[in-house]
Amino acid sequence: MNPAILALEDGTVFEGRAFGALTERSGEVVFNTSLTGYQEIFTDPSYSGQIVVLTYPQIGNYGANDEDMESARPYIEGLAVRDFSPMVSNWRSDQAADAFLKLHNIPIIDSIDTRKLVRHLRTRGVMRGVLSSISTDVKGLIEKARSIPSMAGLDLATRVSTVGSYAWTSPVEPCSPSERIRNGEPLHHVVAYDFGIKRNILRRLVTSGCRVTVVPAGTSADDVLALRPDGVFLSNGPGDPEPLEAQAAEVQKLFGKTPIFGICLGHQILGLAMGGKTYKLKFGHRGGNHPVLNKKTNKVEITAQNHGFAVDPDSIHDNVAEITHVNLNDQTVEGLRHKSEPVFCVQYHPEAAPGPHDSLYLFDDFTRLMQEHKK
């Protein structure tokens, strides 16, 4: 086996074995606590610019397939795991995970102490790093890690967004009996801003009875309204929300003209559009086991999350919006609702279904808002 090295900007180094592509990649080193769903993580555009550490010890054992893709390709810069399995045993597998990442020039390091690495990132905060399976120059790799751009202030959403508009028509499969009824003639037309959108969000919108038109991140409010939407959706995506001032300004122009629903980065952009501010979290929220309190129902939802920034609760004026959801681990803002307009958003991913269905009501809330707005 070829050796691999993960070097962090603070001088910490992890040495292990190389899988995937024999190459060198750099990015912000983050960790995800999900037990399954590694292919969804690989292909989530929100991980653009990041090397991902998975806390579950064995990864790769069920391979990869076309159905579990959240986008057209993987977006992670690199992968760090305790034990990467070269053997695949699953009836749904079309390809080994090793071959899948190698095809897209993504390196993997395994046989490292991921518990030690995650505890280090929790204590010191996420940091820049380089993963190399072609160089053993430790000092050189550390210097490279210190020279790459910080995630703070970085606009990655416009880089991963679609170049042109397109229609999405595929629902969630298989659907429940009640969902099949809604998969007939679409009831609503939703224009979805693509800041790095996941395919399962699009499937959920279609399953909820929507005809979906996906548009680039830089689309103006006038161009969106020209499509005559019943509602507008703001997607997840990578990077810092603060550089997206232009997008937030265009979204603000849509207030009062159409219902709006945002998820993850879309939530943060809506927070900016409501006059709020965002800030970088120490190590972010990434995984499928984050408890969130719905302040309206007083119920706890088990949620999937993937973000490194959050909306500052002190920056949201009481006369503009209310905080509807709160993270029970650290009390960060997980949901907002405008007080006078049909606009709401959540920081977490209801389409990922970790609960498994704790948060699907949000899509019904969106369709209900669109129906009421039509009257």
CA-to-CA distance for 363 and 185, rounded, in angstroms? 17
CA-to-CA distance for 46 and 195, rounded, in angstroms? 9
Which pair of structure tokens corresponds to residue 48? Answer: 């653009």
pLDDT on residue 1: 82
- Active-site residue, selected from the candidate residues 9, 70, 77, 351: 351
pLDDT on residue 280: 97
CA-to-CA distance for 75 and 106, rounded, in angstroms? 9
Cβ count near 93 (within 10 Å): 17
Q: Does residue 224 sit in helix, strand or coil?
A: helix
CA-to-CA distance for 24 and 331, rounded, in angstroms? 37
Asked about 351 being catalytic, the answer comes back as yes
In the chain the first and final C-alpha atoms are separated, in Å, by: 65
Question: What region does 49 belong to: left with phi over 0, alpha with psi -120 to 50, or beta?
Answer: left
Asked about 264 being catalytic, the answer comes back as yes
- C-beta separation of 233 from 208 below 8 A: no
Measuring CA to CA, which residue among 7, 42, 43 is closest to residue 25?
7
Supply the Cα-derived Rg of the chain in whole angstroms.
Answer: 20
**What are the Cα distances from residue 155, in Å, to 152, 160, 227?**
9, 10, 26
CA-to-CA distance for 211 and 63, rounded, in angstroms? 32
pLDDT on residue 199: 97
State the residue for tokens 């550490």: 53
Asked about 334 being catalytic, the answer comes back as no
Residues facing 20 on adjacent strands: 107
CA-to-CA distance for 211 and 228, rounded, in angstroms? 12
pLDDT on residue 368: 96
pLDDT on residue 175: 60
Question: What region does 228 belong to: left with phi over 0, alpha with psi -120 to 50, or beta?
Answer: left
Cα dihedral 249/255/261/265 (nearest 10): 10
pLDDT on residue 337: 98
Q: Does residue 45 sit in helix, strand or coil?
A: helix
- Active-site residue, selected from the candidate residues 9, 179, 264, 338: 264
pLDDT on residue 178: 52
CA-to-CA distance for 256 and 339, rounded, in angstroms? 11
Determine the CATH number of domain 3-147.
Answer: 3.50.30.20
Can you give the pLDDT of all 375 residues of the chain as single tens digits? 899 999 999 999 999 999 999 999 999 999 999 999 999 999 999 999 999 999 999 999 999 999 999 999 999 999 999 999 989 999 999 999 999 999 999 999 999 999 999 999 999 999 999 999 999 999 999 999 999 999 999 999 999 999 999 999 999 876 655 554 455 678 999 999 999 999 999 999 999 999 999 999 999 999 999 999 999 999 999 999 999 999 999 999 999 999 999 999 999 999 999 999 999 999 999 999 999 999 999 999 999 999 999 999 999 999 999 999 999 999 999 999 999 999 999 999 999 988 889 999 999 999 999 999 987
Architecture of the 157-374 domain: 3-Layer(aba) Sandwich (3.40)
CA-to-CA distance for 302 and 288, rounded, in angstroms? 8
pLDDT on residue 181: 46
Strands 321-327 and 278-294 come out as: antiparallel
Q: Does residue 325 sit in helix, strand or coil?
A: strand
* Cis peptide preceding 356, ω within 30 of 0: yes
Measuring CA to CA, which residue among 367, 65, 354, 335 is closest to residue 207?
367
State the residue for tokens 């679609």: 162
**What are the Cα distances from residue 270, in Å, to 39, 102, 124, 267, 285?**
29, 37, 30, 5, 19
pLDDT on residue 179: 54
Residues facing 79 on adjacent strands: 52, 108
State the residue for tokens 């679409």: 186
Residues facing 51 on adjacent strands: 29, 78
- Active-site residue, selected from the candidate residues 290, 325, 338, 349: 349
Which pair of structure tokens corresponds to residue 20? Answer: 């995937």
Domain positions in the chain are 3-147, 157-374
pLDDT on residue 40: 97
